[in-house]
Amino acid sequence: MQSIQRINVQKRLSDVAVYNGVAYLAGQVPEDPTLDMTGQTEQVLAIIDKLLESVGSHKSRILMAQVFIANMAEFADMNKAWDAWVAEGNAPPRATIEARLANPNYKVEIVVTAAV
């Protein structure tokens, strides 16, 4: 049986779990919730980059992304940051959902699964 590797383990959750060559990231939120949608999305994507790097993966290896946004009216602003970030020729399957997020100041939360 293969072991499960967990990164940044806390009482409630881990930032990443790796099993059988796949990295499963927890929902990532911005460090500065006072930023606008584009700024928050850029921060979240930078966090995802670091987490993927920590397990030997990369944004070009993302298998699936789920984007939760607090207000669908800001969809274009989120996509501005996403489009500048996504690996050319490697845009993953993605779902974008409007949802009430844990902190009312969060505008975006992103979950990704990636090959290691």
Beta carbons of 32 and 107 less than 8 angstroms apart: no
29-56 pLDDT tens trace = 999 999 999 999 999 999 999 999 999 9
For 24, the token pair is 């499963």
pTM exceeds 0.85: yes
CATH number of the domain residue 47 falls in: 3.30.1330.40
In whole angstroms, what is the distance from residue 106 CA to residue 41 CA? 10
Total number of domains in the chain: 1
Beta carbons of 26 and 16 less than 8 angstroms apart: yes
Residue 74 C-alpha from the chain's centroid: 17
Domain housing 61: 5-115
In whole angstroms, what is the distance from residue 116 CA to residue 100 CA? 31
pLDDT at site 2: 82
pLDDT interval class at 59 (50, 70, 90): very high
